[in-house]
Amino acid sequence: MNFNDMKTKGLILLAVCCLTGLFFACRTSRQTTTINVNKALAYCDTQVSRTLSELRDSDGMIDYSMMPRNIMDSLDTWHCRKAAADEWCGGFWPGILWYTYEYTQDPSVRVEAERFTDALHFLSSTPAYDHDLGFLVFCSYGNGYRLTRNPEYKQVILDTADTLATLYRPQVGALLSWPRHIEDYGGHNVIMDNMINLEMLFWAAKNGGNPYLADIAVAHADKTMDYHFQPNYMCAHVAVYDTLTGDFIKRVTHQGYSDESMWARGQAWAIYGYTVVYRETKDNKYLDFAQKVTDVYLKDLPRDYVPYWDFQAPFIPNEPRDASAACVVASALLELSTYLPGEKGKGYKKAAIKMIENLSSDEYLSGKSKPSFLLHSTGHWPNGSEIDASIIYADYYYIEALTRLKKLEEGKSLLI
């Protein structure tokens, strides 16, 4: 072969490589997601309609004080629990209805959302049973106010934020999570779930409530950041402090595999919580910390990005998954990605989309078998409770993640 032939072949090969690269680049840029968000949200609407129908008695009436909580693997209807101070999941079903109304604009869904939301009004005028007031009220009344601007909803949120603040102990610098467990843990206990309740405090401080509520939220986030995590940024479920001095005593688990393991949903609460704290403070230390707790979570995920219930559970891959953790993280990462221009933000968004895509597959969707959105969540493995179940908070964060993805695709703010 002479030089000219070699040169011609080389040019042809180069052209083929360039065209191939261009093809894949274009293919990648077009196919940022394979999920049809509107189809997924329409599925949620169908399941919501099915649930509302199944909640009606023989006379067509609904008991609005009874909130869907779970569907065990062998069953096909919701187990409901009465809206009460000790039922921490009571706000998720009204929140799902509000997200469904946001998508459909169906006035009949709005009516149902209002009725189920009203069943939680008592929480704004009773003493705090524990920290879950944010889950209970901000998921329900918070979404309701966001979509309707009903001034009565605003007042409920403000009153409840004041109630939540009564659990703050200045000598500790953190909100008490479980008043009923002080003796059990030997001190002021703080659970990672409590990070989610800070959003209501921040919101209240900015919307007519006491500005001190934001100070409480920041203090709690700082105390948690300082003592709740191992050096590798894996969080414990519970941190315990001396009730008089505020000194750190120990890290333990309640729902995880061990005191040192990474309980999947606990790490999810951390990712979501510190994303919110950065949003509300714009302090870069929280943005940096949100990335650290995210990266340790993403590092050891299964191929489908839906975690096992605990990352150190002893019998992986023969351990239950926790779809609820994947839903929480997917929603959080969609928001976190918007605060990080460049490859890191793109990577988080890509991870969130992969989570949503797999959650939206036949492996995890309930489909026609149950009126829930999703299968395969784990509630409290050490207690043998809600194992491989459909759980209402998984559905809540799934529809929130879908709503956020739709807004991103439409160039809208995630928070309005």
Task: Indicate which residues carry an active-site annotation.
Answer: 132, 193
From 278, 277, 253, select the one nearest 267 (Cα to Cα). Answer: 253
H or E segment and range at residue 80: strand 79-82
- Please say whether the beta carbons of 218 and 286 come within 8 A: no
Give CA separation, 42 vs 37, 99, 174, 267, 333, in Å: 8, 12, 41, 30, 23
- Please say whether the beta carbons of 333 and 404 come within 8 A: no
- Using the structure block, give the residue that is written with the tokens 């941190």: 239
Q: How many CA atoms lie within 13 A of 176 on its CB side?
A: 24
- Using the structure block, give the residue that is written with the tokens 């990577």: 347
Contact partners, residue 221, CB within 8 Å, separation at least 6: 195, 198, 273, 274, 277, 286
Exposed / middle / buried, residue 60 (Cβ in 10 Å: 0-12, 13-18, 19+): exposed
- Using the structure block, give the residue that is written with the tokens 């797999």: 358
d(CA 408, CA 50): 28
Q: How many CB atoms lie within 10 A of CB 318?
A: 8
How are strands ordered across the β-sheet holding 238-241? 188-191, 238-241, 248-252
Q: Letter for the amino acid at 260?
A: E
What values do phi and psi take at 268, rounded to 5? Answer: -65, -45
**Positive or negative CA dihedral for 267, 273, 279, 285?**
negative
